[in-house]
Amino acid sequence: MSRLVRFAAAGIANTALGDSIILIVLAAGAGDYAANIASYGAGLMLGLLLNRR
């Protein structure tokens, strides 16, 4: 798989995960800041995992 396609797929997966985490955390009753912190952390880990060589 080409580098550009892998990068794009990682970005799409990261966006989907981030949005899902935000919605789940908000539905659980946490605030906006907590939802964004959880989403950022999950996105950071997924991005590093998917973009490694």
Average pLDDT, the chain: 93
What pTM did the predictor assign?
A: 0.85
User: Number of H helices and number of E strands within the chain?
Assistant: 2, 0
The pLDDT tens digits of the residues spanning 5-49 come to: 988 999 999 999 999 999 999 999 999 999 999 999 999 999 999
pLDDT at 13: 95
Domain ranges for the chain, please list them. 3-51
CA distance 35 to 53: 30
